[in-house]
Amino acid sequence: MDRKINAAAFKARCLALIDEVAETGQPITVTKRGKAKVQIVAVREKPKTLWGATKGTFKIVGDIVGPIVDEWDEEREVRNIKGRFDDPTARYAHDPVADRAGAKARKGGKAKVRRSPRRR
């Protein structure tokens, strides 16, 4: 339940009320002439890391360091480390170099405008 207090009473007991809100966590609404003006709410500390935020929400069961598969293929791992991968290489849908085969490199930033010679 929201507790309401007059601004004059809050001014007289300000520090005690702040300590009370911090301990109980119950907000206090400060009123002035019967209208709510501000609400005093306890500040909650945010955890510094993700691990602190998830503390107690999950439990690690089993071996988290070992391999995922039951049968570990040591030879395949050695081939992958040496660069002889089993997976096919990625291929592009088009060759980007072939698309620019007819283009010439420009020295300047802007393209020069060609004008036809004047006729007399």
pLDDT in tens, 34-75: 999 999 999 887 766 776 777 778 787 777 777 676 666 777
State how many domains the chain has.
1
Chain-centre distance for alpha carbon 84? 36
In a domain, 91, yes or no: no
pTM, whole model, 2 decimals? 0.39
Give CA–CA dist 7/73, Å, rounded: 74
The 8-class DSSP code of residue 7 comes to H
For residue 58, the enclosing domain spans 1-65
Give percent of the chain with pLDDT exceeding 90: 31
Q: Is residue 97 included in any domain, yes or no?
A: no
In a domain, 60, yes or no: yes
Beta strands per DSSP E along the chain? 3-6, 28-32, 35-40
Q: How far apart are CA 19 and CA 21, in angstroms?
A: 6
pLDDT per position as a tens digit, 99-114: 555 555 556 556 666 6
Residue 104 covered by a domain: no
The mean pLDDT value for 65-93 works out to 69
Residue 32: give its domain's CATH number: 3.40.1620.10
Q: What is the dihedral of CA 86, 87, 88, 91, to 10 degrees?
A: -150
